[in-house]
Amino acid sequence: MEQIKRAGDVMIPLDSYPHIPYWFTLRQAVVEMEKHELEVGGRRSLPRVVLVFDEKYQLMGMVRRRDILRGLEPKNLVGKPLEYRKKLFDVKIDPNLSEISYDKMLRGIQEQAERPVNEVMQEIKATVDYEDHIGKAIYEMVSNNVSLLPVLKAGKVAGVVRSVDLLHEIAQLLL
């Protein structure tokens, strides 16, 4: 019979997972995501989330890829109705005829890239303990609609467990 897996058994240690201080910019968060290729069980991937800490190394939140993309939206588009934003790019024959120039869009993104990550970060909805059964991690992910959970050991972040790694563990049981 196989031993019960714990969160600590399947987590990625914090020193191998991207994490940044809250004052880092969106640009710096992108750099961290791009340089942290993860390899778990022979499978490679880029992280989808960066953890955000304060100066005392207390976990403050996380920034997902989509939070960064949303945060990079140029100021002149922020808050505009979706129909207005769609219309700017709705050119069926020649995309170069759109109402917003590539250069203007690029400048807007570069401007927004200097925003601190704490302006777009998400709160941590749940954590698991290092000794918790993976069933608890699955429950917390499903209940909180998240794909990553910080793993705590003695009250400090020891690493993270991702939904892809939990699903891999389940696959090992089913296949």
> Is 2 a member of any domain?
no
What mean pLDDT comes out for the span 146-170?
94
How far from 55 is each of 91, 99, 123, CA to CA, in Å? 47, 43, 17
Tokens of 149: 């959970």
Q: Does residue 124 share a domain with residue 43?
A: yes
What pLDDT digit, counting tens, does each position of 21-62 carry? Answer: 999 999 999 999 998 888 877 778 888 999 999 999 999 999
Q: Is the pLDDT of residue 86 over 70?
A: no
Asked if residue 95 and residue 20 are part of one domain, the reply reads no
| 120 shares a domain with 93 | no
Structural domain includes residue 18: yes
* 59 and 123 co-located in one domain: yes
Counting runs of H as helices and runs of E as strands, what totals does the chain give?
7, 9
Domain count, the chain: 2
Amino acid 27 reads R
Residues spanned by the domain of 24: 7-69+115-174
Q: What is the pTM of this model?
A: 0.83
Determine which of 42-51, 97-106, 162-171 has the lowest per-residue pLDDT on average.
97-106
* Residue 1 domain-assigned (yes or no): no
- The CATH number of whichever domain residue 33 belongs to comes to 3.10.580.10
